Amino acid sequence: MHELTVVSNIFKIILETAESNNLSKISKVSLKVGRQRHLAPDLMKFAFDSVSKNTIASGAFLDIDRVDIKMKCLSCGLEFTVKDNTYLCISCGSAELETISGKDLLIESIEGEV
């Protein structure tokens, strides 16, 4: 389960951020996760519950905002959202694409008490 590794690494950052902001309790963490990362939100939440156990984030809510895969065709310039893992331009059929979004992995916010 590579979600556990990803969440463990994110959790280190969460704890460092909480400490530097003098938080005594974390109640909510919001993440932006690109669909191209192929991370399962349910498994991420399970991993988060596991790594946060007996910490200041124990019982915190993990909110995951999925970011669609958006591409730009380098042939015709069209920007589009990838559907069904089809990585071809929906206008001209070109496979020469540039990723605009979808690889995101961002801690958007941490909420808690001082």
> pLDDT tens, 64-102?
999 999 999 999 999 999 998 899 999 999 999 999 999
Q: How many CB atoms lie within 10 A of CB 76?
A: 12
> pLDDT tens, 13-25?
999 999 999 999 9
Domain ranges of the chain: 2-68+101-113
Instruction: Decide if pLDDT at 1 tops 70.
Output: no
> pLDDT tens, 37-73?
999 999 999 999 999 999 999 999 999 999 999 999 9
pLDDT at residue 64, as a whole number: 98
User: pTM score, two decimals?
Assistant: 0.87
SS (H, E, C) the chain: CHHHHHHHHHHHHHHHHHHHCCCCEEEEEEEEEEHHHCCCHHHHHHHHHHHHCCCCCCCCEEEEEEECCEEEECCCCCEEECCCCCCCCCCCCCCCEEEEECCCEEEEEEEEEC
Fold held by 2-68+101-113:
hypothetical protein PF0899 fold (3.30.2320)
